[in-house]
Amino acid sequence: VTGASRGIGYFTALELARLGAHVIAVARTVGGLEELDDDIKALGGTATLVPLDLSDMKAIDALGGQIHERWGKLDILVANAGVLGVISPISHIKAKEFDKVMTVNLDATWRLARSVEPLLRASDAGRAILLSSGVAHSCRPFWGAYAISKAAVETLGRVWAAELVNTSVRINSVNPGATRTAMRAQAVPGEDPSTLPDPRDVAKKIVKL
């Protein structure tokens, strides 16, 4: 589970652990990973913590090899981590901001897919869940970089699923909808968070896949 230190990723990891999975929790924030580890242990579950910045492509490549060496397979990938970028007209976005969104949201997801596909194939029923967003289709003004990245991730998922159609691996894109997360608060600062679904509830729906 990437982006496992908070929000949807945190509660997806927790729910998977509750159901018996050993969770490989990936995130930049060590403190959040340690808190997750404590909560998983409290449930009687187990986790491996991987502090990793998803803009580090070589580290993503190495992660697949490390999983292979230790477990020989991967049953589930939840590619949840993402960044919003700036809310701005497309013509005003700085190149480095646009590149950062594409690197973390799209490039890292492709790199993860490439790194773990052999591991998912080694599972008896490998599953990959790619987190998307409704803005991939609504093309919401001023959300350009994020919307473009998520539209690309959905296309990646469709292509990947088509390539693996004759295997036991299944790929799904999930649009969680507006959810009570830090990213949502950043995107819509005037919104009342109490009106939004809790990430715990979203996580339970993701885990069913």
CA distance 28 to 6: 11
55: left (phi over 0), alpha (psi -120 to 50) or beta: alpha
The residue written with tokens 């959810």 in the block is 179
Q: Which of 10, 98, 143, 146 is catalytic?
A: 146
Phi, psi of 166 (to 5 degrees): -95, 15
CA atoms within 13 A on the CB side of 178: 11
CA atoms within 13 A on the CB side of 52: 24
Q: Is-contact 102 24, C-beta < 8 A? A: no
> Is residue 10 annotated as a catalytic residue, yes or no?
no
Q: What positions carry a catalytic annotation?
A: 146
